[in-house]
Structure 1
Amino acid sequence: MTAQLHAMPLTRATEPAPTEPVPTATATTPTAPGSSQVGALIRAHRLRIGLTQRELADLSTISVRAIRDLEQGKARRPRTDTVRLMADALRLGPRARTALETAAQQGRAGAHCLAEPPAPPTALHAMVGREAELAVLTGELASGSERLVHVVGLTGMGKTRLALAVADRLHATGMPALWHTFRGASRDHLGPDEGPWSERVGAAVSALCPTSPEGPTDGGGDPAADLAELLGERPVLLVLDGAPAGAPRFDRLTGLLRACPGLRLLVTSEQPWRIPGERIFLLSPLEVPAEDADEGPGEPASAPAAVRVFLGHLRRTRPEFVPGAADLRYAARVCRGLDGHPGALAAAASWLVVCDLAALCHSLDADPTALLDHLGGGEGAEDFRRTLCLRLDRLPEDASALLGALCEGPGSGFELADITALTGRSLPECGRMLRELLLAGAVRATHEGGGSRFRVLGLVRAVCRGRAVTASRA
Structure 2
Amino acid sequence: MREFGELLRTHRIGAGLTQQQLADFAMVSVRAIRDLECGRTRSPRAETVRLLADGLRLDEESRADLQQAGGRAAGRSTVAPPAPAGPGGLIVGREAEAAALAASLTEGRPGAGHAGQRLVTVTGVSGVGKTRLALEVAGELHFRHGWSVLWHPSQSVPSINDEQDTVLVTDRRPDPCLLDAHPRLRIVVTALAPTELPGELVFPLGALADDAAVRLLLTHVHRVRPAFRPEPANQAALVGLVHELDGLPSALEFAAGWFMVYSPQHLLERLRSNPLDPTSAHLRDSLRRSLSTLDVDGRELLVRMAEGEDPGHSPYVRDLCVRGLVRRTGSRYEALNLVRAAVLEPVSGPHLAGGVALTWPV
Question: TM-score normalised by the shorter chain: which range applies?
Answer: 0.5 to 0.7
8 Å Cα contact 2:81-2:149 kept in structure 1: yes
Identity %: 36
Distance 1:136 1:258 in 2: 24
Distance 1:453 1:278 in 2: 28
Q: Secondary structure at the match of 1:238?
A: strand
Matched, 1:268 2:190: yes
Q: Which has the larger radius of gyration?
A: 1
User: Partner of 1:460 in structure 2?
Assistant: 339
Q: Secondary structure at the match of 1:385?
A: helix
**What amino acid sits opposite 2:128 in the alignment?**
M
TM-score by length of 1: 0.52
Matched, 1:134 2:74: no
Query: Deviation of residue 283 (structure 1)?
Result: 0.8
8 Å Cα contact 1:159-1:268 kept in structure 2: yes
Change in 2 beyond 3 A, CA 1:149/1:393: closer
Map 1:287-302 → 2, pairs under 5 A: 287-288=209-210
Distance 1:351 1:357 in 2: 9
Query: Deviation of residue 236 (structure 1)?
Result: 1.8
Q: Secondary structure at the match of 1:358?
A: helix
Change in 2 beyond 3 A, CA 1:180/1:391: same
Query: Aligned to 2:326, which of 420, 423, 443?
Result: 443
Matched, 1:283 2:205: yes
Residues 273-302 of structure 1: CA distance to partner in whole angstroms, max 9, x if unpaired?
1111111111111112xxxxxxxxxxxxxx
Query: Aligned to 2:252, which of 313, 328, 345?
Result: 345
Distance 1:157 1:350 in 2: 18
Change in 2 beyond 3 A, CA 1:150/1:361: same
Distance 1:139 1:305 in 2: 22
Query: Aligned to 2:276, which of 353, 360, 369?
Result: 369
User: Partner of 1:390 in structure 2?
Assistant: 289
User: Partner of 1:120 in structure 2?
Assistant: 82
Map 1:79-98 → 2, pairs under 5 A: none
Distance 2:152 2:263 in 1: 37
Distance 2:135 2:174 in 1: 22
Distance 1:370 1:117 in 2: 39
Distance 1:156 1:370 in 2: 16
Stretch moving more, 331-340 or 457-466: 457-466
- Segments of 5+ residues of structure 2 without an aligned counterpart are 1-77, 109-113, 358-362
User: Partner of 1:19 in structure 2?
Assistant: none
Name the count of aligned residue pairs: 266
Change in 2 beyond 3 A, CA 1:118/1:437: closer
**What amino acid sits opposite 2:343 in the alignment?**
C
User: Partner of 1:173 in structure 2?
Assistant: 144
Q: Say what the alpha-carbon RMSD is for the aligned residues.
A: 2.7
Stretch moving more, 387-396 or 127-136: 387-396
Distance 1:335 1:444 in 2: 15
Query: Aligned to 1:156, which of 118, 127, 139?
Result: 127
Q: Secondary structure at the match of 1:150?
A: strand
Query: Aligned to 1:310, which of 217, 225, 234?
Result: 217
Residues 313-340 of structure 1: CA distance to partner in whole angstroms, max 9, x if unpaired?
1111100112211211110000111111
Distance 2:347 2:151 in 1: 39
8 Å Cα contact 2:150-2:166 kept in structure 1: no
Residues 413-448 of structure 1: CA distance to partner in whole angstroms, max 9, x if unpaired?
x5xxx524xxxxxxxxx32x11221233210135x7
Map 1:396-415 → 2, pairs under 5 A: 396-409=295-308
TM-score by length of 2: 0.67
Residues 344-386 of structure 1: CA distance to partner in whole angstroms, max 9, x if unpaired?
111111111122212101100111111112xxxxxxxx61111
- Segments of 5+ residues of structure 1 without an aligned counterpart are 1-115, 183-204, 208-222, 289-303, 374-381, 421-429
Query: Deviation of residue 393 (structure 1)?
Result: 4.0
Distance 1:469 1:384 in 2: 18
